[in-house]
A and B are shown apart, each in its own frame.
Chain A
Amino acid sequence: QVQLQESGPGLVKPSETLSLTCTVSAYSISSGYHWGWIRQPPGKGLEWIASISHSGSTYYKPSLKSRVTISLDTSKNQFSLKLTSVTAADTAVYYCARDLGGGTSDYWGQGTLVTVSS
């Protein structure tokens, strides 16, 4: 059973950089598929952020592209998200997921709440 687990700080100060890592087990991320990040502000809907293919091609939500970087670490079977210049609007539960392509995410992490506050 493929499992994903998000990790990273739960509290980030405004204007700083949010950094999250997703550790994948029972599947090698270099073997195939895409790997993505989705977030959900408290009480609101899902927002796709970015994804990266197993070969390293990246895709970003246009309105976030200037602030987001997604990357792979195949040696650790992890992928990561960096979001710069955060504001309170970036407060959300952040999920990592395996994307079969076209936004079809079949395995999800449990999600991690990141709060942006001073």
Chain B
Amino acid sequence: SQTIHQWPATLVQPVGSPLSLECTVEGTSNPNLYWYRQAAGRGLQLLFYSVGIGQISSEVPQNLSASRPQDRQFILGSKKLLLSDSGFYLCAWSPTDRVEQYFGPGTRLTVT
């Protein structure tokens, strides 16, 4: 069966510091991968998605970036965090031939 991992689970970072969040998927190959951000009590905002290694599409212009160095690895990063980057970051995957998405446990980021 397929599983999706995210780490760390929680993170507190000062303004201006760098960020690296990692997401890995097991039990499938060539998945579509997605990064979302969810502010407290709000909906899901799609940040990036990827259909293959090195292929990244950005949905929202911001100071975040994403990379997909391996087929089942998706990384979200920033060179300098802003206070507004605080939130719940969710990674998701979907099979290439289906549209439903499966979410990881998420990372709660607090920028102080």
Tell me whether A and B are bound partners.
Answer: no
